[in-house]
């Protein structure tokens, strides 16, 4: 029974954080909705402590707002916040791309192409969940290969603010032209053209920032 050990408190906190964050981003918990630690703890099968810790992290990241002794609720989708987040996340992706391109292997480029094929198919099928997962997978190749943990942490922190708006636009029948931009990015990466890849990355994130308008 040596393989069975108590689950660490940090792991429970992270599980609660991920589950609640994903529900907010997906719109399952809508902007303005009040969230209660006891209720969510029961739904997640956890104690209230890791849920409270997750709440604190989500408040810090802008997905929840809290008034002590009063309420904790989901923040509204604010255009200025999305533009700010897109600017920061875009800058981190540009940094990661510049560092990663000279290090990419053929397998890395193939993984990006496969992710873009999934992305394009999901957009055509109207599957927003699959589209966003594929988009993350494509860009995560560059972040991973860059080896910049600070950039990776910043991207992970602020991307959910952008995803909420992307999901809303997608649900309203919005179109997405990122598959073509991804193709240009992948071509630059395959050619070892770091400047070109950074240029396309900047264009991709400007496009996302424009969603806020």
Task: Answer yes or no: is pLDDT of 3 > 50.
Answer: yes
pLDDT tens per residue, range 117-150: 999 999 888 888 898 899 999 999 999 999 999 9
Of the two residues 8 and 113, the one the predictor is more confident about is 113
Helices (H) and strands (E) in the chain, counts: 9, 2
84 class by beta-carbon count within 10 Å (0-12 exposed, 13-18 middle, 19+ buried): middle
Mean pLDDT of all residues belonging to the chain = 89
pLDDT tens per residue, range 49-76: 999 999 999 999 999 999 888 889 999 9
Q: What is the DSSP letter of 102?
A: G
Which pLDDT belongs to residue 42?
92
Distance (Å, whole) CA 85 – CA 211:
12
For 43, the token pair is: 């739904």
∠ CA(161), CA(55), CA(169), 5° rounding? 25
* Residue keyed to tokens 């192409």: 113
Contact present, 96 and 148 (Cβ < 8 Å)? yes
Give the 3-state secondary structure of residue 64: strand
Contact present, 134 and 122 (Cβ < 8 Å)? yes
The H or E element spanning position 73 is: strand 71-74
Which pLDDT belongs to residue 177?
58
Of the two residues 206 and 56, the one the predictor is more confident about is 56
Task: Answer yes or no: is pLDDT of 173 > 80.
Answer: no
* Residue keyed to tokens 């990015």: 185
pLDDT tens per residue, range 5-64: 555 556 888 999 999 999 999 889 999 999 999 999 999 999 999 999 999 999 999 999
Which residues, in sequence order, are CB contacts of 36 under 8 Å at separation 6+? Answer: 72
Q: What is the mean pLDDT of residues 203-209?
A: 84
Listed as own residue / partner, the contacts of 147-154 with beta carbons closer than 8 Å and 24 or more positions apart are 147/99, 148/92, 148/95, 148/96, 148/99, 151/92, 151/93, 151/95, 151/96, 152/96, 154/88, 154/89, 154/92
Distance (Å, whole) CA 213 – CA 201:
20
Please provide residue 74's backbone torsions phi and psi, each rounded to the nearest 5 degrees. -75, 135
């Amino acid at each position: 029974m040596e393989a069975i050990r108590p689950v660490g408190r940090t792991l429970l906190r992270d599980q609660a954080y991920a589950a609640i964050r994903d529900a907010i981003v997906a719109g399952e918990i809508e902007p303005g909705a009040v969230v209660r630690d006891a209720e969510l703890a029961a739904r997640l099968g956890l104690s209230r402590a890791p849920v409270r810790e997750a709440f604190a992290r989500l408040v810090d990241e802008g997905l929840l707002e809290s008034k002590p002794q009063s309420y904790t609720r989901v923040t509204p989708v604010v255009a200025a916040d999305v533009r700010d987040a897109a600017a920061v996340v875009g800058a981190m992706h540009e940094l990661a791309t510049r560092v990663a391109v000279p290090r990419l292997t053929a397998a890395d480029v193939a993984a990006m192409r496969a992710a873009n094929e999934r992305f394009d198919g999901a957009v055509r099928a109207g599957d927003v969940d699959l589209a966003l997962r594929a988009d993350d997978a494509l860009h995560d190749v560059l972040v991973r290969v860059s080896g910049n943990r600070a950039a990776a942490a910043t991207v992970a922190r602020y991307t959910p603010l952008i995803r909420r708006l992307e999901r809303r636009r997608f649900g309203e029948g919005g179109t997405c032209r990122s598959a073509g931009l991804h193709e240009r990015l992948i071509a630059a990466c395959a050619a070892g053209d770091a400047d070109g890849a950074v240029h396309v990355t900047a264009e991709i994130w400007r496009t996302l920032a424009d969603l806020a308008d």
